Chain A
Amino acid sequence: MPEALATIVTEVVDKHGRDGTRLMQILREVQEVHGWLPPAAITAIAAAVGWPRARVESTAGFYSFFHTQPRGRYRVLWSDNITDRMLGNMALMDAMCKKLWLEPGRVSEDGLVSVDTTSCTGMCDQGPAVLVNYRAIPGMTPERVEHMTELIRKQVPVADWPAEWFAIQDNVRRADILLDNDMAPGVALAACFARGPADSLLAASNERSWREGVHTHSQGPSATLDEIKKSNLRGRGGAGFTTGIKWEACHHAPGETRYVVCNADEGEPGTFKDRVLLTRQPDLVFEGMTVAAYVVGAAKGYVYLRGEYRYLLEPLNAVLSRRRQQGLLGRGIGGQPGFDFDIEVHLGAGAYVCGEESALIESLEGKRGVPRNRPPYPVTNGFLNQPTIVNNVETFAAAALVAAKGGDWYRAFGTAKSAGTKLLSVSGDCARPGIYEYPFGVTVAQVLADCGAADTQAVQVSGPSGVCLADNEFGRRIAFEDIPTAGAFMVFDRSRDMFEVARNFTHFFAHESCGFCTPCRVGTSLLKNLMDKIADGHGTQYDLNEIYKLNQLLQMAAHCGLGHTACHPLFDTMEKFRPAYQRRLKSLEFEPAFDLDAALSQARQMTGRDDAGAHLESAEEAAK
């Protein structure tokens, strides 16, 4: 191994205490300096953390953003959500490739650059977006492509590129109790402490062992838990689990210590509200995590931040150190003896499945992001096998408000069954894409009117794994009891082809399947191939039936939510936008799986033949 690389590896592993559970951070930091992860570096890292080499390679090989092969000194990744496509990302990427004499996915001969696509980077309101060496750049235009290729050719370091390219807009269009909040740091915590005697924590930790469950009789934490329960706050990450129940279960679970984890993986295409919360209200999120730590008795918290939001790492760390200085993190928080808690930001590396809470925990432990078998659940056996709560960014922010202002205050917003507000990430065909915060119960039509959508054909709510609504459903409400959502709200007008929308989502799931279970690993790729076949004009009713059968299998046998929902977009669009599929189908009941004439291309090339016998007509032509 070159000495320079050896030095980098040593520095990074030492910084992380040679702790294998920090492997994700170690791999990323080595790669940030060296550009990729050569075999010798993997070997050295494995030796340093005392793990078998294969296990380190295994983790490195799982994540899209880790490279065990050189990927060029400039790595340009085009966000490939359907909203980026609608903004013309493919044409821009092609133009970039032409200018660089490159094929997508390939590294240039001189090892300078590679251009490829990546799953949605969460810039849907300001696309088309790219990541350049994992730095986000939104708003790509033909001029920017031109300029960027120049800079790459001249080998100008990314750090010296025009600063305005890296500016990310918040685009907050409607703010309510969360985004309008101007609470000073520490106010929610002070409210918690005010609910119980100051010495209760220390007394509790002195008289009861951690194994028995913490301080069940200490008034501060249980009083705050009561407020959370009273608020009827439900998780904002998608599943909508009642937050108070989750916290209580963790609080009661025996363990040596407890963890609070903030899920900022935000991988669901079309979702970008956590990005804005972490930009605008990081104190509220951290305060919510600290409140959670106070309630469950945790000493350590992690924010699992998706790799696409790498640019947020330094600003978030700055907020964390300020909070430490303010006595809002660290030992004896707020002067409460025994209340020790700190937060660390961990970065992911391009894997949607890591948003699934148990996969997230595996990733936090330095492993492949594969969902665990449940039971046991994270609340009893989570990070490092200890009781752990995992909540969405927005859930923590809301929890901080509840802690400050009380459960009754909070549940006055929204509907009877869905308390509070919800952040929607609006993108697609509308005049004003961005973040809209509404009390629960708002109708889809209202959101469409507010964002300036016209001639709307469909809305995909909650991303590819959510639901696709047609215009006769726009009267429905955003709420747990009607249309639950993790926040994505993608608008499609009547010029859009809903088949292409579904096909884009199918590619997403095939790319993001972790590959643990057979039905999802193979099934998502089969689905992708079927959709491509239909797109290429070779589809038949037979293929639609195959999709139907695959859907049943995935619903029944997939291991995690990714597999269960991988067919949703196909299904919704097949049902609601049938003509988009029907007009693509051949009338024949069967069409070959592949293009027969194209399958002779290599032989034609090698023999130089182009006579009639060197071609195969389609089945349709042959039947004539």
Chain B
Amino acid sequence: MSDVFNIDGREVPFTPGQTVMQAALTAGVFIPHLCYHPEFKPHGSCKLCTVKVNGQPASSCTLPAAAGMEVESNTPEILDKRKMLLQMLLVEGNHFCPSCEKSGHCKLQALGYELEVMTPHFNQFYPNRPVDASHHDVLLDFNRCILCELCIRASAEVDKKNVFALSGRGITKHLIVNAESGRLADTDFALADKAAQVCPVGVILPKRVGFAVPIGQRRFDAAPISAHVDEFVPVAPARQGERQ
């Protein structure tokens, strides 16, 4: 067996050290994901990328690829679980897409369309999460945070600023910023930061931008997210065994 595994009947080559997700995306096979980002180490928290490998469930974004693996991804059973996860994220926060500047660019929404999530299904939590409008250039609308930690990772690893972190646990887990006042304005966050660019949903939004791109012409309007697979191909060589 050479360095190839099988996903839903398709052969996927991989280089040693790549995860199943990285290899699949490189080969043009889309696997739904939210906390995975091509420029960052795998995180493994959203669980959208759940697959079955040789019959056992696994997170494809953290699982190192191995020759001969039989990976199931788009089976009815797995699609059903992914749908439930999206519905959980939708009811956990407050997602009112019509008033969200991210609409059309949002990966949560786009995956909802991709997987035909017609209803949030579960009972809404309606959490109380006040927005932070203190910063001159950036608005934080925590209502839409799906806790993927991409902003945390970007701020720590790329910007070297550690502007974001998590507090609380369980269903009360929430995003915090690096200031005694708790306000973004009192951090050294800047619009040019990597952390300002990575949010897959509509939490970290530049101010004074409204309908810059008309609805209907936004990122996921023209083609479903699965057709954007080339945008998610990992940029850095994979690093296996590294601690997350």
Contacts and interface: CB of A to CB of B under 8 A. Distances in A.
A552 B146 CA distance: 22
A40 B182 CA distance: 12
B92 A522 contact: yes
A206 to B, nearest CB: 30
A524 B45 CA distance: 15
A424 B84 CA distance: 39
A385 B43 CA distance: 17
- Of A529, A550, A557, most buried by chain B (CB within 10 Å of CB) is A557
B168 A52 contact: no
A592 B165 CA distance: 37
Interface residues of A, number: 49
B181 to A, nearest CB: 8
A510 B170 contact: yes
A510 B241 CA distance: 31
A558 B170 CA distance: 13
A519 interface: yes
Interface string B157-189: 000001111111111110011111000000000
Interface in B31-69: 42-48, 50, 57, 59, 62, 64
Contacts of A608: none
A54 interface: yes
Contact of B176 (A58, A351, A375): A58
Nearest to A381: B243
A432 interface: no
B167 A526 contact: no
- Of A62, A376, A518, A549, most buried by chain B (CB within 10 Å of CB) is A518
A277 interface: no
A219 B168 CA distance: 49
Contacts of A514: 169-170
A553 B165 contact: no
Interface residues of B, number: 44
Interface in A49-68: 52-55, 57-58, 60-62
Interface in B75-102: 81, 84-85, 88-89, 91-92
Given A54-B162, A372-B243, A373-B62, A522 B89 contact: yes
A368 B241 contact: no
A518 B165 contact: no
B139 interface: no
A559 interface: yes
- Of B42, B47, B163, B170, most buried by chain A (CB within 10 Å of CB) is B170
A510 B47 contact: no
A53 B123 CA distance: 35
Given A381-B243, A514-B170, A53 B50 contact: no
Q: Is the interface of B mostly helix, strand, loop or mixed?
A: loop
B81 A557 contact: yes
Contacts, number: 131
Nearest to A522: B88
A368 B46 CA distance: 18
A511 interface: yes
Nearest to A592: B123
Contacts of A409: none
Contact of B171 (A57, A58, A513): A513
A226 B173 CA distance: 46
A511 B172 CA distance: 10
A108 B57 CA distance: 48
A592 to B, nearest CB: 10
B179 A58 contact: no
B167 A61 contact: yes
A515 interface: yes
B164 to A, nearest CB: 7
A42 interface: yes
A55 B171 contact: no
Given A526-B88, A553-B81, A517 B180 contact: no
A529 B57 contact: no
A556 interface: yes
B244 to A, nearest CB: 5
A614 to B, nearest CB: 24
A551 to B, nearest CB: 12
Interface in B103-149: 122-123, 125, 146-147
A593 interface: yes
Nearest to B87: A522
Contact of A376 (B125, B164, B177, B243): B243
A526 B124 CA distance: 10
A375 B241 CA distance: 7
A515 B162 contact: no
B210 to A, nearest CB: 30
A523 interface: yes
B57 A557 contact: yes
Given A53-B180, A515-B170, A515-B171, A526 B122 contact: yes
A529 B162 contact: no
Interface in A509-552: 510-519, 521-526, 529, 549-550, 552
B81 A556 contact: yes
B81 A521 contact: no
8 contacts: A53-B180, A54-B163, A54-B176, A373-B59, A375-B241, A522-B92, A557-B81, A559-B45
Given A521-B92, A549-B84, 19 more contacts: A52-B165, A54-B162, A54-B176, A55-B165, A57-B176, A368-B166, A375-B241, A381-B241, A513-B170, A515-B170, A517-B46, A518-B45, A518-B88, A518-B146, A519-B47, A521-B171, A521-B173, A524-B170, A557-B59
